[in-house]
Structure 1
């Protein structure tokens, strides 16, 4: 078909077929009757047919489409179905033909009926997980592998989407872009793509390809875990013989719509394709130019088609995201994408040879140059000093002699907080501190290009050398011979190599782009003559494998693929590539991470003494007195232990010893610890799926007073829940058993911070005490000021317990817990022997515990939890008001829960959606995990230094994800 026919076809509007005509056609030729729904297309007519016999797609195209082309599509469908691929079947007409040539009111049409594959396309999904992106690439590879053995005369066709015609079609359609700036953008993209593609054309193998395996032409269904699963490939209208790699280029171009501005997000599709159907080197290098051409053809074709057919809603809906595809394709240099694609396919560019180069700084030969560590674990980084502007340069300047930073190092100073995008932390060059006036020479012959005061680039035949910090630099455009003077330094010099002429790279790259940029910007070590390369980071997957090989499997880690975290600061955790994650779940680090007071107190006390609590030292008395000052009047004895589990275990022993009984009431859905005794009273099936079937006979769980999803709901449900307490106690009374007591979190922490109904503990405590039992308040998670409105959780209920247990934030990460009680209860334990805890009451633990209380007071952290917590709760409540999936906001202060439900009436837990939300939050730089028996509640318990800005970033991110759809 000549180009003129191609252009004419590309200008045709979609066929016109009224609903009555479509119904008549179906009855007359297929003996079908049912409802119709338009599916949309750019140049064809697609109608979904729902009838008693099933679901079908009625497809009509212009009669100018050759019958042979459509027969090829039908043959390919049959061929692929024979190989087990999920593609639709053709339903023959009543005359046995799969393809009809009809004339409907003067319109020559070709009509066929295909099986409808149930599912939905992903084209409107704003975010695609990497797994789904990889599946698109993998399916593209499977179809191409299958079609490699398929042949048909109808494959030899001229099609506007065939990339072999892209340049001619772009040239013809360019005037369709009415905006001058947009037209110039497309023209430039096409020119650059042609330049990169031209040398590769003769090396690209051809075969039959689908040429439209996109998010729009694959149908998906969510499985029970809410994960997208492929149901099938549809729309073979672009089937033809062309370059094999063209199929993957179409898939990648479509994925750019979901790339959120980062074209490197397509790389999982490339890796998945390459693993199944390896592409040759020339194909891999041609892939990105083909993507650019595809993006240009998409926008121009839609612009032209919209001018011809302005009522076509399908085109109107698509044109914005097609321009988005082009903009995303232009977001990074083509050279970077080529390297990234090669690396994703397991290959890379050849190394640059610097063997015959002269030294850039000849006067440094034989002199020691200090390497300055600016990485995440640098000993120079402490107490957030890396946040100060110019930190790196000041550190270099402080060195006594010549000093350099390290190429390829992820610098802590470049991190940022409360932002969704990765920080650019990887240094692509080297910064030097040198004696002022140090002379430079050209390492290779080239042309000097001045870039501003003290800046410029030496362009050689094979690479470019970017310099900043020069005095007496050459004139702009001056040709330099190897070894010729290149000026002198003013004391600081940045040096950066780039293997691509005309490309000015950034000095820092994001972690996801670092490997590709480092391939383009190799180390300048050979030109400098001294070591300046960072040690490669440990492979996080290998490290995880080591953990799994030696660490007991029951000790789980967050996330299937957890980030490698080695540093923390305030309410952030920092991975080894310098990304700062907002920590919204770490209630152990109550003061925040890396607090300088904790460093100083622990270091000083370790330098003096650390031993067990049977020795005599001041800290244990001072800390016990501070704890008693926080407790209600009447509390006068303290036990110090290592953890919340030990605190609750000891509380059980105290209750047994004081009451003389062993029977204990606990509350369903609660978690109290992992020891034999505390596991016995824990009934959270999220923590132990066998919890309800494995309780010993001395544990008597009572109904959870869950005012949101329990059997009785609302603030006035206390009496209803107390009936179960009364029934349990009555049963014990009837059997003549002595009650030991009751243990309960005063705020339902493990269920997401749900407040107990007013009056519940007051009545429960009264009934327990009437029977000689003791009342234990488990404050391990919710106490110590975290609730904001109250220091202790039991204050919300207006009660005073007999025993208070505490841990978690007491030591800001140091193993430290406490049991606070009255003398008569404490001394009841003496009949069973003495008690001590090695680390819990040690001098180091006590000094750290005192310091935690001092910092909480001095930095106003309880006040912060109250004031910022109120704002936090209000913002979570706004999510509940605006998004049906957000069912309820629980808690107060910095102990909050956002409960996700699929139905506001049935309260069906949105368990899978909650896990997807947590995974997506991690992508945005936030750590969060689910809680509750159904794992459908965000357990929000950040360090108490968390700011209002961090709260807003967290809630904005949750809202963004809810709006994207789960």
Structure 2
């Protein structure tokens, strides 16, 4: 390695493996990724003591060809040149060329305790040598050990667990439970809600790009989302977050006018679009796919009361908000001071291993049991349950819920400062390590920033080594949801990269 290359590498904060592996290719990638960003503005990437193995699999062009001809055409990858990832370690991801990225989207809010977490890996490898699979008609210790641990983290009477494989499947089952228990049919969910893409749950999902022109999800009705930033009502004290909207608020200390207005809309749905008796109401404690949308404080408590008065049950979709990600509480519903009748969970439950669950009361579980024999071939798989137990252990042992609260709040407040500096940053919101940054044309109109501009900011962040997510009805909101093991220096890097991407974007606009 030449001395000149060493100086360049140090100035650019490139990981050491790039120079050892393919210096000419890495240098070429450098010129394509940061040509528009002067060296002194490129944020310094935090260190990482993990070195990935050399990539020796399919060539990139072959990957593209296979994807085009043999994989689902509905799968739309991020970025103009799709990112081919090779290996991961904790909060870091590595592509085929050895480039390192800080993962701040966690495989769509799924990697809870870190990619290939050594403690989880050790448990998985041990279980792999004992028993891969047996269906639930046979007993095995991992499923019973996990059931005991998970039930201990939920309040009474939420103690009966149905293990399944995905969030969509969990919500499918919860819909069936609600209808079997209530003997009613209609189910309500919010506009902007995402509860899955299966034919059944598509009725609950109310994001236009996920809807079909074919019949699916019958007897599901959408109600207005109480979005205090984009909705018709909202103020500066509405949500359970260290950062509030910039909208003015004239509410008294013990009341919220926005919450009251949205409750009236919810009552209107109950009075006009569903039967007098309903099966249930689904709600994410914080909407994920819609861009980390938070409701006014007290809204869910009143909505749950209204649903139960109509004979329905209340379902909390914790697929993205559960397992300590919100910091202050282990479950998102606890942040609203409510007790749901059914809780669905997935994603972070297995740190990326296919696993999900529905938890309910003995009474509701028996209502389902009287109607059908529910069976799932892979639900409660020994591998899944061993991994699930390991994830719970790591969250507790490594204080990851507390880390989500501390680092998440620290980072949220730093992102909020960018809202003051840039007219196109309309809203910054969230709780713990679930953060949304909504991009707008201007703060007055709150119109979404054009898609091509959002895409370019997204690309710029990737070129500087930061991977973030997208959400919102118009794909106008950046979603920040890193593994819960991240540190403050890594949070600083993420904010600095996003800041640099905004500066770069404004410079393009000015030309």
Same fold at TM > 0.5: yes
Cα–Cα, structure 1 residues 921 and 774, in superposed 2: closer, same or farther, change >3 Å?
same
The answer to whether the Cα contact below 8 Å between 1:753 and 1:892 also exists between their aligned partners in 2 is no
- Write out per-residue CA displacement over residues 884-929 of structure 1, whole angstroms, 9 at most, x where no aligned residue: 1111111111100011111111101114222211111111111123
CA distance in 2, matches of 1:892, 1:754: 11
Q: From 219, 237, 262, give the equivalent of 1:721.
A: 262
Query: Deviation at 1:427?
Result: 5.6
User: 1:533-544 residue pairs with structure 2 within 5 A?
Assistant: 538-544=58-64
Name the SS of the counterpart of 2:200 in structure 1. Answer: helix
CA distance in 1, matches of 2:478, 2:125: 36
Cα–Cα, structure 1 residues 916 and 427, in superposed 2: closer, same or farther, change >3 Å?
closer
CA distance in 1, matches of 2:55, 2:264: 65
**Which structure has more RCO (C-alpha within 8 Å, separation ≥ 6)?**
2
Question: What TM-score, normalized by structure 2, do the two folds share?
Answer: 0.84
Question: What TM-score, normalized by structure 1, do the two folds share?
Answer: 0.45
Name the SS of the counterpart of 1:630 in structure 2. Answer: coil
Question: Residue 741 of structure 1 aligns with which residue?
Answer: 280
RMSD: 2.5
Is residue 326 of structure 2 the alignment partner of residue 806 of structure 1? no
Query: Deviation at 1:954?
Result: 0.7
Does 627-636 or 665-674 show the bigger shift?
Answer: 627-636
Q: From 226, 233, 249, give the equivalent of 1:712.
A: 233
Question: Residue 673 of structure 1 aligns with which residue?
Answer: 196
Is residue 346 of structure 2 the alignment partner of residue 831 of structure 1? no
The answer to whether the Cα contact below 8 Å between 1:602 and 1:844 also exists between their aligned partners in 2 is yes
Question: Residue 699 of structure 1 aligns with which residue?
Answer: 220
The answer to whether the Cα contact below 8 Å between 1:663 and 1:739 also exists between their aligned partners in 2 is yes
CA distance in 2, matches of 1:514, 1:915: 20
Query: Deviation at 1:535?
Result: 9.2
User: 1:648-659 residue pairs with structure 2 within 5 A?
Assistant: 648-659=171-182
Bigger fraction of residues in strand? 1
The answer to whether the Cα contact below 8 Å between 1:655 and 1:740 also exists between their aligned partners in 2 is yes
Structure 2: gaps of 5 or more residues: 32-53, 239-255, 507-511
Name the SS of the counterpart of 2:379 in structure 1. Answer: coil
Cα–Cα, structure 1 residues 931 and 426, in superposed 2: closer, same or farther, change >3 Å?
closer
Question: Residue 172 of structure 1 aligns with which residue?
Answer: none
User: 1:285-684 residue pairs with structure 2 within 5 A?
Assistant: 422-423=14-15, 425-426=17-18, 511-513=26-28, 538-586=58-106, 587-609=109-131, 610-684=133-207
The answer to whether the Cα contact below 8 Å between 2:85 and 2:94 also exists between their aligned partners in 1 is yes
CA distance in 2, matches of 1:427, 1:888: 40
The answer to whether the Cα contact below 8 Å between 1:875 and 1:955 also exists between their aligned partners in 2 is yes
CA distance in 2, matches of 1:608, 1:566: 28
CA distance in 1, matches of 2:502, 2:376: 47
Query: Deviation at 1:839?
Result: 2.4
CA distance in 2, matches of 1:668, 1:849: 32
Cα–Cα, structure 1 residues 889 and 535, in superposed 2: closer, same or farther, change >3 Å?
closer
Q: From 477, 498, 510, give the equivalent of 1:958.
A: 498
CA distance in 2, matches of 1:420, 1:811: 36
- Write out per-residue CA displacement over residues 146-190 of structure 1, whole angstroms, 9 at most, x where no aligned residue: xxxxxxxxxxxxxxxxxxxxxxxxxxxxxxxxxxxxxxxxxxxxx
Cα–Cα, structure 1 residues 560 and 508, in superposed 2: closer, same or farther, change >3 Å?
closer
Between the two proteins, the alignment pairs up a number of residues equal to 455
Cα–Cα, structure 1 residues 843 and 535, in superposed 2: closer, same or farther, change >3 Å?
closer
The answer to whether the Cα contact below 8 Å between 1:785 and 1:865 also exists between their aligned partners in 2 is yes
User: 1:125-274 residue pairs with structure 2 within 5 A?
Assistant: none
CA distance in 1, matches of 2:363, 2:119: 36
Q: From 433, 438, 441, give the equivalent of 1:899.
A: 438
CA distance in 2, matches of 1:824, 1:932: 37
The answer to whether the Cα contact below 8 Å between 1:911 and 1:935 also exists between their aligned partners in 2 is no
Question: Residue 845 of structure 1 aligns with which residue?
Answer: 384
Name the SS of the counterpart of 1:890 in structure 2. Answer: strand
Query: Deviation at 1:696?
Result: 5.3
Query: Deviation at 1:835?
Result: 1.6
The answer to whether the Cα contact below 8 Å between 2:200 and 2:216 also exists between their aligned partners in 1 is no
CA distance in 2, matches of 1:515, 1:661: 60
Larger radius of gyration: 1
Cα–Cα, structure 1 residues 535 and 600, in superposed 2: closer, same or farther, change >3 Å?
closer
CA distance in 2, matches of 1:515, 1:859: 36
Query: Deviation at 1:729?
Result: 1.4
CA distance in 2, matches of 1:605, 1:680: 38
Query: Deviation at 1:823?
Result: 0.4
- Write out per-residue CA displacement over residues 230-287 of structure 1, whole angstroms, 9 at most, x where no aligned residue: xxxxxxxxxxxxxxxxxxxxxxxxxxxxxxxxxxxxxxxxxxxxxxxxxxxxxxxxxx
Cα–Cα, structure 1 residues 687 and 428, in superposed 2: closer, same or farther, change >3 Å?
same
- Write out per-residue CA displacement over residues 87-110 of structure 1, whole angstroms, 9 at most, x where no aligned residue: xxxxxxxxxxxxxxxxxxxxxxxx
Is residue 483 of structure 2 the alignment partner of residue 943 of structure 1? yes
Query: Deviation at 1:509?
Result: 5.3
